[in-house]
Chains A and B, each alone.
Chain A
Amino acid sequence: MIEVDESTLIRCAICGAVNMDKGKKNICRRCHSSIKDKHFSTQKSWAYLITGMIAYIPANMYPILISTQFGQTEGSTILGGVIFLWEHGSYPIAMVIFFASIIIPVLKFLILIYLLISVKYPLGKDKKVTKHKLYYMTEVIGPWSMIDVFVVAVLSALIHLSMVSIVAGTAVTAFAISVFFTLLSAHAFDARLIKENC
């Protein structure tokens, strides 16, 4: 018989097995993958998040779509595209693009910043369940910001005529990098820290 303290039990992120916390290096007893170190994970999460936020700036400055119509070249940024769609009456699509490329990334930055600060400093101590929900939400809705990148990819593959053509702009790369790094940041964040700091 062994005595186990319930609060020291940890979950393997890969296979979901319950493990005992044995100090610095934890190896899952079922799938033998290493369980991430909770103190190192915050730093990694910050690093990825800051990279994502920096990449988000050029993603909004440079044109994401460059359309050529009868010799006239015109570039449109993410926000410019949304405004164009809104003015032309495509409200649902304008809303989808607005949500996927502006609301979701910004919301993700804010939620991750809030979570990362709150595990270090006493902030919203009594809102444990809300924080877990927030974290889970960022993981679920996060990938949906890729919509804009895919839309650009589809449009540029589809509109390839002699008179009219659409080419992807610089912002696509920046935006894809931004989304990729925020996803990494959310994965690197350890939800265990929410529990411990409440």
Chain B
Amino acid sequence: MPSVTFDHVTKRFGDVVIVEDFNLEVADGELLVLVGGSGSGKSTLLRMVAGLESVTSGTIRIDDRDITHLAPRERDVAMVFQDYALYPHLTVRDNLSLGLKLRKVPKPEIARRVAWAAGMLGLEALLDRKPKQLSGGQRQRVAMGRAMVREPLVFLFDEPLSNLDAGLRAQMRIEIGGLQRRLNTTTIYVTHDQVEAMTLGDRIVVLANGTIQQVGRPIELYRDPVNRFVAGFIGSPPMNFIEGRLDRNGGAAFVADGVRVELGGEREPVPVAAPVTLGIRPEDISLVAAGMATSPVSGTVVLVERLGGTSHVHLDVGPNRLMAAVSQEQLPAVGERIEVYVPSARVHLFDAGGKCRTARP
């Protein structure tokens, strides 16, 4: 089974750098998610693996084979496109089998593979339909089937779920994950949706401006983001950030207008008085019951969103807006002044350059 290696891969359009010195090895059978905003270079990286974009410098290998300059059809990779890219004039059966016909696969073998993929994806009843007679989710399945029957070395997914509505997206996400684990085919999956990245990826690569911000397992990125970009990108609802500085007065503490968080003695990540940003996830903040021990963080409730299981409490703390995700029944009223508990063990501190200074080793 194959691995995919990016070796100093750079892509430029004229003077514009799309991807800068990208190095990565996708392990055999791994599902690697490339996640980032628009313009981060994630789709360009995928298209370079497919051969649909040229590589300015560096090499891409599948196992030990250098594919950097091969034509798309010589690479033995299959891609699922955002708009599915089904052949509109062909039936589902012919959509699935065209790639095999072009590669002169014997007819009984084509029939066997089409039946196998159709069975796996529940497409048996749809084989004689045209794409326009299918729903969005069915088209998505046909697109995956077309990739599967090829039995390629590598699957490439380019934002495959972004044209589906929310409910279907969650369902197809589960199906893609299950399918990939069963087939165990090396997969590179591009998305801008961090929920897809967290739930699907064996590992996630967070990209910004064509460079890797962080590579790791989903939980590592969640727990130990290396910089402010990753911290803000991974996790939903997003992490709260408060600008402030460090205070040495009676043990290291983060201070800002209306905020004081004790950091515990041994941690002194940045020089005292240097500007620093504190990051805390909404789910790590808890509300302090009225009349209990006083907390150094207090604010005014500006909005309460009840989602059923959890609720989002938005409060103004000095000039900063904080959001706490809590699961309790008793919620404060808008306009009420409340205290919140910010556990120091869950706090991330970022220096002026955005680098995280509290990352665990």
Chain A bound to chain B: no
